[in-house]
Structure 1
Amino acid sequence: MSEKQSAAAPHGPATPPTDQELVLKVIPMPADTNGNGDIFGGWVMAQVDLAGSVIPARIIRGRMATVAVKEFIFKQPVRVGDILSFYSSVNRIGNTSITVDVEVYSESFRAQGEYCKVTQATLTYVAIDENGKPRAIRK
């Protein structure tokens, strides 16, 4: 078992979901770290927002805005050089909004294929018009 998995023992190894779409892969770099050498939570949150917007953008086909983050759970720290995989699925489609679930898994660059779930979040995006006002989603 790798050192990372030993440190992650409370949550253990994980398997990426098969019922969600892989929407983003990214490798955090040293400029993204905090004073402890871990990746800033805010950096991860920004990536989750980008990943979460991929599927709604297909449906909304126009401007949209992030209006809510229902929950954001950090399970494990993210390290420099980890490969992060972001999986998303639609939770709900309303008249003007779309809510998605995003799960993030890391794998060590040297031990690819060994995954650890690092965070998950639920986000809501609203379709907006040219004036920034909510607009109906064409279905």
Structure 2
Amino acid sequence: MPMPSDINPAGDVFGGWIMSMVDIAGAIPAIRQTKSKVSTVAVNSFVFKQPIAVGDLVTFYAGISSVGNSSVTVDVEVFAERHPENPEIVKVTEARLTFVALDIFRTRQLKTK
């Protein structure tokens, strides 16, 4: 749940906060797939559909869309639950990120398959 310190001058949740949470959510399936550390190498797309307000309950869903030799592409969808007295769930953001698998020295890419 975003807090008041996460808002931008317009009063909505700062896009950078959302992007960092998407990066964390996307890394989870990438780590599970590669069984190693990963690094974000590309943000292929990022679409803010609606603003997020302080007090919205935010949920991130991440799933693998493709696996390459050393990379994993993950789609992340973000939903906000609003108005606890009359709940409404809306899709607020969607993104596609590519992660690369790293070896223990963080210098080489590993095979992901």
TM-score band, normalised by shorter chain: over 0.9
1:53-102 per-residue CA deviation (whole Å, 9 max, x = no partner) reads 11111111121100001110001000001001111111101110000110
Q: For the structure 1 residues 120 and 112, does the alpha-carbon distance in structure 2 shift closer, same or farther, using more than 3 Å as the test? A: farther
SS in structure 2 at match of 1:54: helix
Q: Does 1:85 align with 2:59?
A: yes
Q: More displaced, 116-125 or 100-109?
A: 100-109
Structure-2 change in CA distance of 1:61 and 1:109 (3 Å): farther
Instruction: Give the C-alpha shift of residue 135 in structure 1.
Output: 1.5
Divergent runs of 4+, >6 A? none
Match of 1:100 among 52, 63, 74: 74
Q: TM-score, normalised by structure 1?
A: 0.76
Q: 1:132: Cα distance to partner?
A: 2.2
From 111, 114, 120, give the equivalent of 2:88. 114
2:54 is paired with a residue whose SS is coil
Within 5 Å, which residues of 2 pair with 1:67-86? 67-86=41-60
RMSD over aligned CA atoms reads: 1.4
2:100 counterpart residue number: 126
Q: For 1:1-139, what aligned pairs fall within 5 Å after superposition?
A: 27-108=1-82, 110-111=84-85, 113-129=87-103, 130-137=105-112, 139=113
TM-score (structure 2 length as normaliser)? 0.92
Deviations 1:13-67 (A, max 9, x none): xxxxxxxxxxxxxx00001011111100011000000011111111111211000
Q: Indicate how the Cα distance of structure 1 residues 133 and 79 shifts in structure 2: closer, same or farther if over 3 A, else same.
A: same
Task: Tell me which protein shows more strand as a share of its residues.
Answer: 2
**Any gaps of 5 or more consecutive residues in structure 2?**
none
In 2, Cα distance between equivalents of 1:111 and 1:127: 44
Deviation at 1:111, TM superposition (A): 4.3
Gaps in structure 1 of 5+ consecutive residues = 1-26
Aligned-residue sequence identity (percent) comes to: 46
Q: Are the counterparts in 2 of residues 83 and 109 from structure 1 also a CA contact under 8 Å?
A: no
8 Å Cα contact 1:71-1:122 kept in structure 2: yes
Structure 1's 111 and 66: CA in aligned 2 closer, same or farther, altered over 3 A?
farther
